[in-house]
Structure 1
Amino acid sequence: MIKAESRAEATWEGNLFQGHGSVQVGSGVIGTQPISWATRTERSKGKTSPEELIAAAHAGCYAMAFSNTLASAGHTAERLTVNATCTFEQIEGGFKIGSITLDVRGKVPGLDAAGFAQAAQTAEQGCPVSNALRNNVAIHVNAHLED
C-alpha cells in the first residue's frame, strides 16, 4: 500500500559536458537548484549534483531509521548526526554511483559503544534508501558514540 508519493522535476539544456540544468523538489522547500556536469566531477561552485542529493536523502533517511532502531530497543538518542559521502565513479562504459559511506555520531544515554555500533548496522538494514540502493551501491557505516 502506497503511504506517500514524493516528486521532483529536472530541466536540462545543451549537451552533457557544457550544458546546464536545474532540479526542484515538489514541496518547494529547497527551491530550484542549479546542476551541471562539472558539479558531479569538480567543485560545486554553488551548484548541486544528483549524487549530493542522494547523499542528503540517504543521511536523512538513515538518521530516522537509526532513531527508530534505538527506540525499538528502549533507547532515545539525544542527538544523531549523519554525514553521507556518495562517490561518483567512472567504470567501463560509463559512470555509476559506487558507494555511500554513512558516518554517524550520536549521544545515546545508557548505551555503550558496542551497542551503538550494533544498532547502527541494524538501522542501515532497515533504512528505505539503503534498501533501494542495496546490491547496486556499496554501503558502509562508521558509528561513533559520543560521551
Structure 2
Amino acid sequence: MSEKTASVHWEGRGQKGQGRISTQTGALNNYPYGFSSRFEDDRRGTNPEEIVAAAHAACFTMAFSFACDKAGFATDTVDTRANVRLVKEGDGFKIDRIALQLTAQVPGIDEAKFQEIAAAAKRDCPLSKALASVPEITLQATLVQGGGAEGQAR
C-alpha cells in the first residue's frame, strides 16, 4: 500500500487570494497558484487541472510501459501529453474532458497489440479509475518504429 501527500496553504479572499502547493517529495515546494494561473494566462503559477494532467499522464505512461513489459515488449521511449479541459457549468466549473496523446517506440510490437495495450492501460491506470466521473477521456496512441510507422485509436 502506498499513500502520498500534498498540502495547500491559501491566503486572501477568492479571486484576490493566493495559494501555495507543496508535495511530500518536495517536487512542488510552496509553488504558487491562484485565480490568474487557473483562469487567465499567468504562467508564474500552476493550477489544479495542470496537476491533474501531469498526474494522469504519468500514471498512464507507467501503466502502459508496465503492461508492455508484462506482454513481453520492452518500451524504448514513451511520451504522453494529457490535456484537461475545465468548463463553466452553472455557477461553478467542471472537468468535462481529458485527452491523452501517447507516442511510443516499442520494438517488435504490431499495431493491433500496441493499440490493445494502450487502451487497457488507459482503462486500468489508477488515475483513469479515479477520474472515471469525467464524461470524456480519449486516447490517441501513435506507434513509432524505426522510421515512423504510425497508428491512431480513440
Structure-2-length-normalised TM-score: 0.88
Pick from 43, 57, 60: which aligns with 2:58?
60
Q: CA contact under 8 A between 2:21 and 2:28: conserved in structure 1?
A: no
Pick from 23, 26, 37: which aligns with 2:35?
37
Residue 98 of structure 1 and its aligned partner are, at CA, apart by 1.4
Q: Does 1:101 align with 2:99?
A: yes
Residue 97 of structure 1 and its aligned partner are, at CA, apart by 1.4
Q: CA contact under 8 A between 2:8 and 2:22: conserved in structure 1?
A: yes
CA distance in 2, matches of 1:22, 1:81: 29
Q: Does 1:91 align with 2:52?
A: no
In structure 2, what is the equivalent of residue 11 of structure 1?
A: 9
CA distance in 1, matches of 2:44, 2:135: 26
Q: Percent identity?
A: 34
User: Deviation string for 1:60-83 (max 9, x for gaps)?
Assistant: 101110011111211111010011
Pick from 49, 68, 71: which aligns with 1:70?
68
Pick from 80, 99, 102: which aligns with 2:78?
80
CA distance in 2, matches of 1:47, 1:77: 33
Q: CA contact under 8 A between 1:101 and 1:139: conserved in structure 2?
A: yes
Aligned length: 145
Unaligned runs of 5+ in 1: none
User: Deviation string for 1:70-106 (max 9, x for gaps)?
Assistant: 1121111101001111111111231011111110000
- Pair 1:115–1:44, CA change in 2 (3 A): farther
Residue 44 of structure 1 and its aligned partner are, at CA, apart by 3.4
CA distance in 1, matches of 2:71, 2:140: 20
Residue 17 of structure 1 and its aligned partner are, at CA, apart by 1.3
- Pair 1:64–1:140, CA change in 2 (3 A): same
In structure 2, what is the equivalent of residue 49 of structure 1?
A: 47
What amino acid is aligned across from residue 99 of structure 2 in structure 1? Answer: T
Residue 137 of structure 1 and its aligned partner are, at CA, apart by 4.4
Structure-1-length-normalised TM-score: 0.92
Pick from 133, 136, 144: which aligns with 2:134?
136
Q: CA contact under 8 A between 1:33 and 1:48: conserved in structure 2?
A: yes
